[in-house]
Amino acid sequence: MEKRRIRVGLLFGGRSPEHEVSITTAASIAKEADPERLEIIPIWITREGRWLELRSGAALAALAGHLLAESEIGKLGRREVLLSGAATASLVPVAPGPSAVATGEGASAAPIDVLFPALHGQGGEDGSVQGLARLADVPCVGAGILGSALGMDKISMKRVVAAHGIPVPAFVEFTRADWEKRGGDVRAGIESTLSLPVFVKPSGAGSSVGITRVTAWPDLGPAVRDAARYDYRILVEQGIDARELEIAVLGNDDPQASVVGEIISSREFYDYRAKYLEDGSKAVIPADVPTETAEAARSLAVRAFRALDLAGMARADFLLDRKDGRLYFNEVNTIPGFTPISMYPMLWAASGIAYRDLITRLVDLAIERRRATRVDTDRPDA
């Protein structure tokens, strides 16, 4: 009997500012996934939050390539669905009729074996979708609820890794309300604790959205107001004259670190424009650093992965101080960019794992992780 392929619900889009980047990531995964092992079910989360199951990868490719406007994607076939955990995790049509166009199954529920969130930023990378997967009792690629939430929130993330002895740059944290009600005191605390330059960051945004490098104190206020557009919690972090190193981590209970890579940004720092909108930034793999530095960074990456209760995949980013060679943990990305030319897959390609095999490995790790973390109270017969 021919073995049934694993049905993978590939989630992409979402409501975050990284909607477009997510579509590009998902299109790459759908195109390169092993067709003999995986059946990819593209599920587009629109900017309004609707879940649309696309008929095939062709619709996803059309979205990614801007061949059709988002409003016209229905021409390629789709149906609006919800995720149900009744008996078996399934995509259930919201209603029969025009929104449940012919997919070979009419308006019937489509079983899903694994969710693969190719989502970036809030609403997809912060534990929200991971909680939904838990409720539906379906394995989900990547970190679980806690790890995703920690990985998305820079303040909590830095607190946790620092408590595990991993060095982080000095920072000051506050809320939008703190700034509005007692901005003078907050500013005084920042200026007495940190020295210029500093980085102002929203705590819970991804892809360097809302981050400003401040080199003069009068610019602090506008930078804080910009960060506050993206999150209620804000941090101001000590700037360091540093090289930016990145390590890919893969696994569950026995995570492994890739070779070390370096990002050489086309701008002052590796912000959203440098990542996605401008040419000129360069990835160097492996990074030209001493062996002992590379091994220290790889060890710290695994330690951070464990400290934050991560699973499946993560990219750990570090700052290497140009003056004294000290390593500082910057952040982890629990759903890193995942096109073939994104840093995470390139690091693993340089470490001996091809892109297609990496996709399959992550699906297998998700299934493994769900089996390992289930407890008796999850089961109806407990």
User: Is 328 noted as a catalytic residue in this protein?
Assistant: no
- Which of 57, 41, 107 shows the shortest CA–CA distance to 80? 107
Q: Which two tokens stand for residue 49?
A: 């939050």
Contact 276, 206 (CB under 8 A): no
Among 233, 243, 303, 315, the active-site one is 315
**Catalytic-role residue among 16, 90, 203, 207:** 207
Catalytic, 226? Answer no
145 closest CA partner among 317, 266, 308: 308
Q: Is 85 a catalytic residue?
A: no
Among candidate residues 317, 328, 356, 370, the one labeled active-site is: 317
- Which residues, other chains included, contact 213 with Cβ-Cβ below 8 Å and sequence gap of 6+? 197, 198, 199, 239, 268, 269
> What residue ranges in the chain does DSSP mark as E strands?
6-13, 38-45, 51-54, 78-84, 90-93, 110-111, 114-117, 171-175, 198-202, 212-214, 233-238, 242-251, 256-264, 282-284, 312-321, 327-333
Which of these is catalytic: 331, 342, 356, 370?
331
Closest CA to 271 of 193, 201, 323: 201
Active site residue 315: yes
- Looking from the CA of 126 toward its CB, the CA atoms found within 13 Å total 16
How far from 141 is each of 27, 94, 219, 287, 357, CA to CA, in Å? 17, 25, 40, 28, 14
Catalytic site residue 126?
no
Does 276 participate in catalysis according to the annotation?
yes
Active site residue 207: yes
- Go through the chain and tell me how many residues it has: 382
Amino acid at 31: K
Catalytic residue among 108, 276, 351, 368: 276
Q: Does residue 330 carry a catalytic annotation?
A: no
Name the amino acid, one letter, at 30.
A
Catalytic residue among 124, 142, 337, 369: 337
Active site positions, annotated? 70, 207, 276, 315, 317, 331, 333, 337
